[in-house]
Structure 1
């Protein structure tokens, strides 16, 4: 079955060669660009198959979408690059690559105008091209804000193209939404989770509109424009919900560690991986997670964000929170936490030994681990031979987008909550549903009061919707984007949110090395009789520690690495000098 589903991906790779030749700055005569080539659906299929490279999923360690945020408060990256850049890149960055890809779509659209096609075929491929064009512009907006709109075939050497000023981001995002709406209304219906379809466009429409709605509200203080986009996001997500094609199932872990996602009721789209004698298309996410390469450990802040088993946040729940051991920090919580994080401490990555699984924080992320491959040391256990299928678009995001749009619009009813976030809480988290009343929320009659970590002025409903999004999609590649659009950059500042870069407590480390209440399951620090082969003094000397509320916690970074988030400049990237030198009319982003 995998061989059948993988065919489109192999075909897309083959088509890449022709597309690359066609879309470089070489003369177009280098490619058979004429009626003999553009003669039917086969040509369109071949050229648009390249678009599948944009459907990001699992990669080699941090190269895919998952587990790859360059800055996050969900996990402590290794000690290489925690700070924000202070200089402007001399290259061309996402700006150039995204417009090159938009040009690819525009060329196909231009050639389609002269082709004899059925109405159904024309609409589908125009929709696919506009989808691809839209997501390229969305990437530029997320990185740089204001930009330019490219909706026709552009000569990249044309002086007019290189002299344009930027257009306000809201106008660009309206055009992005127009393209995605057209794609959603004209592309083919869902066939299988391995090919593009109309509901993929609806999902991206909800994602893009939600992003811009939050940006307009929290950065521009423009409620009217924000609500315009929130409404688009809500309606797009609702179109997917009302289709009845997808549903939330009980096995949360299976969304991330399965060999075959075909038939999974939560997958709008997924990427097939296979590595054997016949096909060699693997990834490295499982292998990275289970190797001796230092893994990015989950942070204290992330662990504390999960509700307890009673459905209440730790600041409200009578059960409270105990991180004196990793086991006590994980037990009695939202079930997704135990699914995502191992309940025993793993070796700390700054210590001398590197023979076993280790972590920057002591918490080991197991979300992407296929336990059968790991336990049996199968041929697919090591990177880059991993063959678990990778999610691309999931129904869980649809429900979260819908819930957030409703909360931001101030229209969320109990029915809205029940068909969105409560589906996730009950089925994935195994915790009770939220009761919604205006902007107030409660669980089984207990009101959820303001979280001490909510220093951002949002109401309890919005805060709990954001909590649900974080816990459901942790390490799925959304967190940094979410913090940027919500104007929550302080979460990434080490001095303002130290919990965002530390992990296990000193007490948990002590228990691990003392062999009390923590289990050295890799047998790396104890001899055959269970005796400690090192001392806590050695550990303290080799680890980095941060004190929070009178307790020491393992830090993912050396004390000298102090990430500061500049509210005046770090929400957007600077335009690379390789772009602004060519076109000074683009200007530069604030603070740069």
Structure 2
């Protein structure tokens, strides 16, 4: 199959009309649905319609741990409504029609049952993904499993189906996909039976935790979904071809997955690939380094504080951790810290590259997870690195959390999931024994309602391992922890004193000077000046001398919890007033 990014020319013809309406000189139903080549070309269009590489590396621009240049309207009081244009894109169904077309028309007697079921399995995989996205955003949605005929006006005017009905069908679709897809994993860019299992662990975990923590009174209890996630994860872990990537230099084991041109097939289960020769490139560097193009996303100190020391102890157990300067706080930490942000010793184009306060970071914690280290790639869509959409590491995390929610997680499970991830990250203790101590900082800052030390550590591991991969907002929603979107402070590195140059990476050259923004200060050659405080300045300082960004930027998470779902757009309600509106909107 072709790579996820590619959209075959034939598929462009089939996005909005019945195939029998096409001129016969271009294609016929028999050309497409009566041959394996036609089915292959048609099904390739599903990849691009469902997701893209940028969805992954741009997906965490609205989370609790992301300080950005502008707060998303969704968490600004009164700024988001059922009339916003974004909803017209989110509430679209053309992709579903195209998927259902293949399922309905893949009946040719000229094809073997295994070939037909393979492509029906692919279609049902993408239908499951499509509907998962809709349920996450809107809750109850209409379930449609066939191409609508012109006279089926009753469906167009019907109420939404309950998530109980939709989730049942999603699970059935994924089971069919696993059982019937025969395509091999290939180059890591195409769907196969293992990605069907991986997606099942993701969706089942989401639904189980959403039902549990939101106390939904539905026929299927959360435990049934946790069990689905555990069984799918166990099957994949025991019989699938994937494992954690271990690089020749352990300091690169995780980041290698995000900057390699070809998907690292050992761990990456599904990716979007790019190719310069075919002018198919992404803009990850531009997004993550530009002063104007992207959101200038910087990670925040409360999140960085949750990344463990290399000996497995909590960073916040260090004496006076609050007053450690940037260089010191980066020492002897989980190896993923230096693969996630610029830390002392990081270089770009062969030169030292400390956090760039001149045109990017607000907090000092500047991400590098997806960026290539050559500055050439920074000024446009030039990147050729593959972007993972699903990793084996996620499956381990899904399995661990679901099993813990069932109360069956044991030390052996810990060793092959959380312990394995920590061992890869250079953590030397606590990789084989279940934790027994509640980390008070992690609990009080992020998960005040969680008292179980094992569940706390699983959540810690998830937020560190999957940071900036587009999972965080959905995780907060399913845990009913959306209030973190408004409450986690956007604080940054410790600044001992203003008006004094700082050598952030201690290479002997001063990098930045933070000064009182209400008073002028002369320029110093080679040193970036950053005003703190002063009129109209969003860069301020906390009472304990940490940078703080956006203190005056209002963030709102409504007490009635309405933001756990998006509103049904007004345009849809005009066409069908039986859809009803989500609570609070």
Scaled to the shorter chain, the TM-score interval is 0.7 to 0.9
Greater mean deviation of Cα atoms: 88-97 or 418-427: 88-97
Alignment of 1:525-544 (within 5 A): 538-541=531-534, 543-544=537-538
Find the partner of 1:385 among 361, 382, 385.
382
2:318, 2:212 → 1: CA distance?
Answer: 35
Query: Structure 1: which 5+ runs fail to align?
Result: 349-355
How big is each residue's C-alpha offset from its partner over 1:279-319, in whole Å with a ceiling of 9 and x where there is no partner?
1011111233234446211111221121122212334x345
2:526, 2:278 → 1: CA distance?
Answer: 46
- The answer to whether the Cα contact below 8 Å between 1:512 and 1:520 also exists between their aligned partners in 2 is no
Partner of 1:131: 125
In the alignment, structure 1 residue 100 sits paired with structure 2 residue 94: yes
In the alignment, structure 1 residue 504 sits paired with structure 2 residue 486: no
- C-alpha RMSD of the superposition: 3.2
Alignment of 1:492-571 (within 5 A): 492-493=485-486, 496-498=487-489, 501-507=490-496, 510=498, 513-515=501-503, 538-541=531-534, 543-545=537-539, 550-557=543-550, 559-571=552-564
- The answer to whether the Cα contact below 8 Å between 2:336 and 2:425 also exists between their aligned partners in 1 is yes
1:168, 1:55 → 2: CA distance?
Answer: 22
Q: CA deviation at 1:166?
A: 1.7
Q: CA deviation at 1:448?
A: 5.0
1:394, 1:516 → 2: CA distance?
Answer: 33
Partner of 1:284: 283
Partner of 1:481: 474
Partner of 2:351: none
Q: CA deviation at 1:119?
A: 1.9
Find the partner of 2:212 among 214, 217, 224.
217
Q: CA deviation at 1:54?
A: 4.6
1:110, 1:329 → 2: CA distance?
Answer: 58
In the alignment, structure 1 residue 572 sits paired with structure 2 residue 565: yes
2:10, 2:139 → 1: CA distance?
Answer: 32
- The answer to whether the Cα contact below 8 Å between 1:512 and 1:518 also exists between their aligned partners in 2 is no
- The answer to whether the Cα contact below 8 Å between 1:267 and 1:391 also exists between their aligned partners in 2 is yes
Closer/same/farther in 2, CA of residues 447 and 505 from structure 1, 3 Å limit: closer
Closer/same/farther in 2, CA of residues 543 and 398 from structure 1, 3 Å limit: same
In the alignment, structure 1 residue 413 sits paired with structure 2 residue 410: yes
Partner of 2:336: 336
Partner of 2:241: 245
Greater mean deviation of Cα atoms: 356-365 or 174-183: 356-365
Closer/same/farther in 2, CA of residues 481 and 413 from structure 1, 3 Å limit: same
Closer/same/farther in 2, CA of residues 516 and 90 from structure 1, 3 Å limit: closer
- The TM-score normalised by the length of structure 2 is 0.85
1:80, 1:520 → 2: CA distance?
Answer: 37
1:23, 1:329 → 2: CA distance?
Answer: 60
Alignment of 1:345-424 (within 5 A): 346-348=355-357, 356-371=358-373, 373-374=374-375, 377=376, 380-424=377-421
- The answer to whether the Cα contact below 8 Å between 2:181 and 2:193 also exists between their aligned partners in 1 is yes
2:43, 2:510 → 1: CA distance?
Answer: 48
In the alignment, structure 1 residue 162 sits paired with structure 2 residue 153: no
In the alignment, structure 1 residue 304 sits paired with structure 2 residue 313: no
Partner of 1:258: 260
Greater mean deviation of Cα atoms: 225-234 or 184-193: 184-193
- The answer to whether the Cα contact below 8 Å between 2:438 and 2:456 also exists between their aligned partners in 1 is no
Partner of 2:349: none
Aligned with 2:221: secondary structure? Answer: helix
How big is each residue's C-alpha offset from its partner over 1:63-118, in whole Å with a ceiling of 9 and x where there is no partner?
x2223234201211212536344422255535532x32111111111111244311
Count of residue pairs brought into register by the alignment: 552
Query: Structure 2: which 5+ runs fail to align?
Result: 247-252, 345-353, 515-520
2:65, 2:270 → 1: CA distance?
Answer: 25
Closer/same/farther in 2, CA of residues 331 and 152 from structure 1, 3 Å limit: same
Find the partner of 2:193 among 163, 175, 198.
198
1:329, 1:451 → 2: CA distance?
Answer: 21
1:127, 1:565 → 2: CA distance?
Answer: 40
Closer/same/farther in 2, CA of residues 165 and 323 from structure 1, 3 Å limit: farther
- The TM-score normalised by the length of structure 1 is 0.85
Alignment of 1:310-321 (within 5 A): 310-315=311-316, 317-318=317-318, 321=321
1:116, 1:239 → 2: CA distance?
Answer: 34
Q: CA deviation at 1:256?
A: 1.0
Partner of 1:232: 228
2:287, 2:493 → 1: CA distance?
Answer: 21
